[in-house]
């Protein structure tokens, strides 16, 4: 785990045959109101917790888990993590919160073939990803968390309840799987995905000032060129129509 900026820590995903999402911890260290963004894949809970402790962060200071979206590679180890920080609330966008509470796992797995494979490989029972959601995010909130302000953006298309977190002051964007480094974007063929919505979400993100891009996978970028997201949207526009 490394510090990307004041109050923003990065834990690199440990991909296996299935990718493991990056996790981020946000909040000023002294605030004792830290948020863990996206736990990651099944079996990665101890690795993520260890990484947090190795930075000298007290687990008791983590008060919530915020999901950029509820795909398996992001929520897979949520239960493992919550065993170690059971007091942490779970915050998810409204559209994906309902299915999570009802045990509807179509968005978690994305497609049936993948679901069958994962359930066998990881010995998962139906309903393994049923969670009570403490706060349903809508998009448009300015969250005052950990002594910092993060705006929630609802950016559907990769999944129906994808959110981005934008820190206007520090020009940091945590976009989940909507946009990556190197002009890549999230896939838009899974359950609840939608190409035109993804295009609109990219155009929405293109309006933000972003110097630091902290996506769910692949490289993080600390000196994003101006116009990067607009150019990414342009390159993908014909595929997303
Ligand atoms: Zn992902
Ligand atoms: Zn995803």
| C-alpha distances out from residue 142 to 18, 70, 95, 164, 167, Å | 33, 21, 19, 12, 9
> What pLDDT digit, counting tens, does each position of 13-68 carry?
999 999 999 999 999 989 999 999 999 999 999 999 999 999 999 999 999 999 99
Q: How many CB atoms lie within 10 A of CB 206?
A: 17
pTM above 0.95, yes or no: yes
Distance 151 CA to ligand 2 centre (A): 20
Distance 207 CA to ligand 2 centre (A): 22
Distance 174 CA to ligand 2 centre (A): 13
The whole-chain average pLDDT of the chain stands at 97
Distance 30 CA to ligand 2 centre (A): 31
Q: Which residues pair with 203 in a beta bridge?
A: none
Distance 18 CA to ligand 1 centre (A): 10
Distance 94 CA to ligand 1 centre (A): 19
Distance 214 CA to ligand 2 centre (A): 14
């Amino acid at each position: 785990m490394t510090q990307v900026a004041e109050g923003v820590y990065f834990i690199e995903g440990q991909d296996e045959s299935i990718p493991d999402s990056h996790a981020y911890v946000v909040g000023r260290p002294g605030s004792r109101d830290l948020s863990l963004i996206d736990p990651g894949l099944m079996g990665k809970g101890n690795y993520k917790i260890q990484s947090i402790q190795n930075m000298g962060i007290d687990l008791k200071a983590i008060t919530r888990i915020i999901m950029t979206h509820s795909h398996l590679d992001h929520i897979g180890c949520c239960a493992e993590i919550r065993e170690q920080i059971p007091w942490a609330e779970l915050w998810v966008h409204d559209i994906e919160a309902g299915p999570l509470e009802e045990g509807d796992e179509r968005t978690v797995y994305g497609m049936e073939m993948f679901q069958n494979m994962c359930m066998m490989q990881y010995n998962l029972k139906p309903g393994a990803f049923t969670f009570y959601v403490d706060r349903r995010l809508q998009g448009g909130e300015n969250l005052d968390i950990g002594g910092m302000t993060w705006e929630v953006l609802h950016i559907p298309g990769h999944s129906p309840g994808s959110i981005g977190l934008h820190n206007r002051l520090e020009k940091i964007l945590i976009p989940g799987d909507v946009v990556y480094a190197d002009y890549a974007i999230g896939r838009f063929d899974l359950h609840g995905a939608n190409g035109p919505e993804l295009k609109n979400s990219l155009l929405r993100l293109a309006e933000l000032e972003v110097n630091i891009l902290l996506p769910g996978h692949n490289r993080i970028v600390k000196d994003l060129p101006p116009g990067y997201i607009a150019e990414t949207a342009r390159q993908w526009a014909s595929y997303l129509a």
